[in-house]
Every structure is written in structure tokens, then in C-alpha cells.
Amino acid sequence: DVLRTEDVQAARLKLPILAEEQQIMETINENSIVIIAGETGSGKTTQLPQFLYEAGYALEKQIVITEPRRVAAISMSQRVAHEMNLSSRDVSYLMRFEGNVTEDTKIKFVTDGVLFKEMQEDFLLKKYSVIIIDEAHERSAHTDMLLGCLSRMVPLRQKKGEPVKLIIMSATLRLKDFIDNPRLFKIPPPVIDVQTRQYSVTTHFNKRTEQDYLKAAYRKVVKINTTLPEGGVLIFVTGQREVNYLVRKLRKTFPLRHKDKLLESEENEKKEETQNNEDEEDCFDDKKKIRGKRKKIKVIPKINLDDYTTFLDSTIDNLSNEEYDGQSSDEDDVFDDVTVYRTAQPLWTLPLYSMLPTHKQQKVFQQPPIGCRLCIVSTNVAETSLTIPNIKYVVDCGKAKVKLYDKITGLTRYMVQWTSKASANQRTGRAGRTGPGHCYRLYSSAVFNDEFPEFDTPEIQLMPIDDLYLQMKCMKIPNIAKFPFPSPPDTLQFTTAEQRLEILGALKNGKITRLGQTIAKLPVSPRYGVMLVRSNINNLLPYTVCLVANLSVQEVLLETPLTPNDNQKETQKQWAAVRQRWAGQGNSLLLGDNGMLLRAIGAAEYEHSKGKLQEFCDRNGLRYKAVIEIRKLRLQITSEIKAHYPDYSHLVVDPKMEPPSDHEAKLLREVVLCGMGDKLAKKVSLEEVKDREDKAKFKYAYWANNMKEPVFLHSSSVLRRTLPEFVCFNEIYETNKIYMRGVTAIDPEWIPIHVPAICNLS
């Protein structure tokens, strides 16, 4: 029996899905595949697992729910545990490198990638009685893959006499891809449409589309907060950086008041948060404590609107950041153009993006301090997976950041582009949950009609599918091109994936090799898997683990100081000098950017052991949070390797490892080549360009992949002084020019040894 608290029970009863519990459960009992459609906030994710649990589906086997985003997997498992009055031992989550699953787990939230991996070990997923695919409309590549596999697995379990239920949950978008798709489901599954109480939302288009949407968004929020009635504001921008920028600017514009009293109440929370930071795993229990405490604390005296403190501006900034985050801001900001509205209602401004630590994300669900208006600046995570209560105004910039990928050359680019009409309408819908609302679109209706595509392209059609292709080979799926994808990738994606996997040695003549089998089990992409496997000699593994961790974290090295200072040029020069020193000499230097980062991380960890990491990072242009992330990843990758391969039980992570010797550095260069064999580049020779007027431009130019244009060594690469004849790189990306990232020099005679396939391909 589930013993819910009164609060929870009252909140549940307001959800439209509760009224349909009986019909939903009858349909599930009678059908093995059911689609549940309903708008965000109708209660699908939090309630369905509870219905199934109460109907006895978790008595013998587990209920598993997949989420395309890590944020959702963690926060939903916590929410469901809370609603059911159970602990994280019973309602748990599992994702790559992280989780709190126990042998008692009954309801398990996982990322879709994790379930797909589990399917390779056990195609029938025998430990589950129900498989729920959540947010199917987001069309993440793993979700699409899972749907294809599950469409075949469900009848198999039926045949074996161990039936399983498959529930697909989706917003009411583009259901056609699942229903009118005989290749996927011969008989279309029944669809239950959960009716949502959606209040009317008035959409306001801008007359003109503003180029600077951040400025436009800022102005709109100022207007809302100074002229419009009560109600929370939700702003959609495209990325973390933009979120943080707007948050800081808005906090400065509409500062909090009565700091002393607020601070007093938040003091305890701050203490809890420090604990939380140290131990995110155990989040749920801590959360409960916080919630409990906060309730008691919430006797904040009502704020007298005529009485507000007059801090100096800078003090306000620091204090308010401490209040929000329990720590002072690491990114000082200079906003010359900010007017501080001291008499307007204070704005309780919170950021929301997927990389934000869970306990900070949780803040959006809590009541703002009395007297403040809630204001959330978010990326598209708030579009569908998270529902924020009490939003009345949505401000939509209409854009989304997309990673574009060239299927032939592998060139990647981040582009901020118009989102789809479907997404824009989802965003608008956020304003009508608790009452009528307004959505301010910072673009014109003409742009919306003419330039917005109807739907987002499914991820599987946008990205390299090497990883998926290898996993499918591993699962012995015959004829992959005929696989029942909801929307199949194109032929080019298949052929390039196959070619690259041949180059890595994971496939040979289309068949999976032993190497391929091994790396398919590792929790990293195939090329990193190859590097790990190939470094299983001479104790290189700890280095490779660090290398792979470094390559997996974005922006470890800063290009410009976070705190703007007077002598930025000078700082950058100093950083460049430090980096060149880290790069070392001989083979270390030739290991290039990858070797330099190895040393940087070693040095940073050494300082960490002395308690001086932050200072060290600031001085040398390393991103503090990236260093922490890398440490976590190294530990996690190491424990995954140990879990899969008992031979490595002795493997330990020594954070402050000694830099590799010259011989080791040379071996590491070969290891890097094994993983990046499909990403080779050759120096553009002076001979080739000697007659050109612009030949000076080719000093740092290379020919790479099948690119018609040259690619360049970035000015931050430590190999700019060496200009090796042959290099391999981790990524090519385009900004103003096309650059290589993560460059290592290689010896051409290694190519036939380590990447024989490249010699057979034209």
C-alpha cells in the first residue's frame, strides 16, 4: 500500500490524468503496447509509474521508465519517491556513470541510452514487467532505437509466455510516426489522449524580429515586471551562457530586499547545500530534509514594500548571488547599461539548464520568497520534460541551439537557429497551466509562418550513428537498413558509420570483430573505447582514462578571462606560455593538445590536494568546474572498466599522476591514432600554394577528411610552433574558419600498422 501525505494527495487529485486512471489501466491490462499522449504537466511521468505500482506490476519484476535527459531521470525519480513516500532505495535512477539503484528498486528511471545498453546484454529485458518510453516525441536517437527494438521484443516475450507491457508516452505531437507506421507496429497500438486543463494563452508576436534577442528578452521582462499583474515569468533562450547572462542582469535590475531577514532563513539551507554538493547521490533524502526545514523556516516576515535596504551596487550583486546559490558568483559581471529598479517588485530569478546541478534545478519547483515574482530563465529543458508551477508569462526568443553535423566530412558546427512551430507552441503552452496566460514571441508572425519548420528533425537523422550501428551489430541485428526505425537515417549515415567502424577495427568486412565486441560494452563512444582497449599495455590505461575524460568535457581551457580585467592581452599571453610549458618537449610535445591537457590536469590535481585548485585555475585559465567534472569522469570510467573486466581490478586513479615519460608519450600518440584513425590531416605544403597571392594564409593549414577547403590549427594549439606533417584530431568545427580541436602529431609509418583499413579505402 502506498501511504501518501495529504499535501501530495491533494496535488495529485488536481492532475487530469488521475480521473483517467481506470481507463488507462484497463487499456494496459488488455493490450501489450499502449500510447499515452497528453500535454506537458498532465501527470504522465509522475503518475503512470504509480498506477502500475499500485496495480501490482512491481511485485515480481521492475517497472522501468526511460528519459531522454539526465535531468528528468534524476528529478522524476525523486519526485515519484516523494509522492509515494518511498525512499530512493525503491524508486531509483540509473544513467551512464551515475545512479542509486539497489536490490530493492521497484521503479527505475533510466536514460534511454542505458536501457538500450541493457538490451544488448539481455534483448528480452527479463527483469522488467513494464517498459515505459517517456518523452517519445523528443525523438532522441536512443529512444527511436529502443522503439525499433522493443517493437520486436514485445511479441517475443509474449511467445515465451512472459508477457511485458510497453507504454509509449508522448506530447500530442506527430503521433503519426508511431501509429501510421506498419513497419514499426503492424497493428497500430491504442492511443489514450489525456485531456489537460489548458487555459487560454494569448500569443503576442513582435512587429519586427529583433536581432539581439537577449536584449529584447531583457526589455520584455522589465516591462512585465514593472507593468503587468502578478504571475511567474518563464524565458526561453538557447544555451547555458545566455541563461547565466540574463539571470545576472535581471538579478541586478530587480534586486531582493530585506537581505538580512532573507539571509537568516537561507542560512540553514546553505549549510544543507554544501552537503548536497558533496554528495549528490543521496540527494533525495537530503531534499526531504530541506523541504521539511524550509516549511518551518517559511515564517519570513512579510516584506514591507516601502522599506528596502540601500546597499552599494556591488554589495547587492554579491549578496544576492550568495542568497541564490549559497556561494559567491565566480563570474563577475559588468553591466553598464543596467538600471536598478529599486521600487519595483523584486524578481526571484533562477536559471534552468541541463548541466545545472540537481539541487539547484529543484529550486524552480519551490515557492519564491514572499513578495517576489518568480522568473526562470531556461534553455529548452523547460519545453517538455520539466513543468514549472505558476507560470503566467512566457517570453520566447524562438531560437534553439543545434549541433549540426556534416554527414560526409564530419564537420560540426553549433548553430543558433529558428526552432520549429511545434516547439514554439510547446513553449507557449507553458503559460497556461494554472490560469490564462500570455506568450511574448520576440519575432514576427511572418517569420513564424514562413521560416519555422513544422517539426524538429529527429536526432537520429542529424548525427553520426557509429555508436548505434556498432551496438546493433553487437545485437546481431541482420540487415540494419531494414530495421524498423520510427524515422530511418539515410543511406549515407549508414555507409559512413560502417566505414569509420572498419577504420577503428571494430568491424571487418561488415562483421563485428572481437575488438568491436569489447568496446561496445564500454560506456564511452567507440573511438574512445578503442583508445582504452589499445592502451592495455605498459600501464598506459590511467593516462588514457584521463585523456578520454578530458576529451569528453567541453571547454576545459578558457580563451578569455572570466573576470574582465584591464590587461586581458597580457593574461592571455601568460596562459599561452603556461600551456606551452605544459606541452613539454619531444614526444610529450608531439602528443599535442591532448598531452598538454594531461599535464594541466595533473598539475591542477596537485594544487587541489593543497586546497588551492580555484586559485590555480584562475591563474592559469582552466575552467574550475571542468576540472571537477574530469575528476568525476576519471573515477567513473575506471570503475566501469573494473566492473566489466576483472583483469583490471588493480586499476586506480591517481589524481595527480606524474606526466608520461617520453617513451610513454610516444605510445600514447599511437593510442590516440588508434581512436582517431578516421580523422587524419596532412599539412598543406608550401609547394602547393607557392603561386597564390594569399599563400601566407596557409601557414597553419591542413587537408583533412574529404574536405575541399583546408582546416586550421587554432591559435590555442600547442602544435602551432611545430607544424607536424601529419596529425589526427578529435573534432573539426566551424566558427569564422574551420578549425581542428584536440590535435596530436602522428608518424605516417604508423598508419598502415594501426589503421590498416584506411589504406584499403580510397
Q: Where are the beta strands (DSSP E) in 497-548?
A: 507-508, 511-512
Nearest distance from C-beta of residue 365 to ligand ADP, angstroms: 4
| 45 touches ligand ADP (CB under 6 A) | yes
- Residue 597 Rama label (left phi>0; alpha psi -120 to 50; beta): alpha
| 365 touches ligand ADP (CB under 6 A) | yes
> Among positive and negative, which fits the CA dihedral 497, 354, 637, 583?
positive
Query: Which is closer to Mg ion, CB of 45 or CB of 66?
Result: 45
Cα 312 off chain centre by:
38
Q: Which residues bind Mg ion (CB under 5 A)?
A: 44-45
Distance between first and last Cα of the chain: 65
For ligand ADP (CB under 6 A), the number of binding residues is 15
Sketch the per residue contact string, 120 through 159, with ligand ADP: x for CB under 6 A, - otherwise. Answer: ----------------------------------------
Query: Which is closer to Mg ion, CB of 44 or CB of 430?
Result: 44
Q: How far apart are CA 179 and CA 389, in angstroms?
A: 32
Backbone torsions φ then ψ of 449, nearest 5 degrees: -70, -40
Query: Which is closer to Mg ion, CB of 17 or CB of 556?
Result: 17
Please work out, in degrees rounded to the nearest 5, the angle formed at the alpha carbon of residue 556 by the alpha carbons of 612 and 615.
Answer: 20
Maximum Cα–Cα distance across the chain: 83
C-alpha cell at 531: 583508445
Nearest distance from C-beta of residue 16 to ligand ADP, angstroms: 9
> Which is nearest to 620 in space by CA: 634, 602, 632?
602
| 42 touches ligand ADP (CB under 6 A) | yes
In total, the chain counts a number of residues equal to 762
| CA 146 vs CA 119, 120, 484: distances in Å | 9, 11, 10
| 380 touches ligand ADP (CB under 6 A) | no
Query: Which is closer to ligand ADP, CB of 171 or CB of 740?
Result: 171
Cα 738 off chain centre by:
25
Nearest distance from C-beta of residue 573 to Mg ion, angstroms: 50
Query: Which is closer to ligand ADP, CB of 382 or CB of 617?
Result: 382
Query: Which is closer to ligand ADP, CB of 55 or CB of 723?
Result: 55
Partner that binds at residue 683, options Mg ion, ligand ADP, none, CB closer than 5 to 8 Å by kind = none
Query: Which is closer to Mg ion, CB of 44 or CB of 500?
Result: 44
Query: Which is closer to ligand ADP, CB of 68 or CB of 505?
Result: 68
Nearest distance from C-beta of residue 73 to Mg ion, angstroms: 11
| 730 touches ligand ADP (CB under 6 A) | no
| 43 touches ligand ADP (CB under 6 A) | yes
Q: How far apart are CA 448 and CA 470, in angstroms?
A: 39
| 40 touches ligand ADP (CB under 6 A) | yes
C-alpha cell at 499: 566505414
Partner that binds at residue 369, options ligand ADP, Mg ion, none, CB closer than 5 to 8 Å by kind = none
Nearest distance from C-beta of residue 366 to ligand ADP, angstroms: 8
> Long-range contact list for 737-740, CB < 8 A, 24+ apart?
737/712, 738/411, 738/707, 738/709, 738/710, 738/711, 738/712, 739/711, 739/712, 739/713, 739/714, 740/681, 740/702, 740/704, 740/711, 740/712, 740/713, 740/714
Residues within window 52-91 making contact with ligand ADP, judged by CB under 6 A: 75, 79
* Interface with ligand ADP (CB under 6 A), residue from 387, 419, 496, 588: 387
Partner that binds at residue 756, options ligand ADP, Mg ion, none, CB closer than 5 to 8 Å by kind = none
Nearest distance from C-beta of residue 16 to Mg ion, angstroms: 13
* Interface with ligand ADP (CB under 6 A), residue from 27, 46, 88, 140: 46
Q: How far apart are CA 163 and CA 158, in angstroms?
A: 4
Q: Which residues bind ligand ADP (CB under 6 A)?
A: 15, 38, 40-47, 75, 79, 365, 387, 389
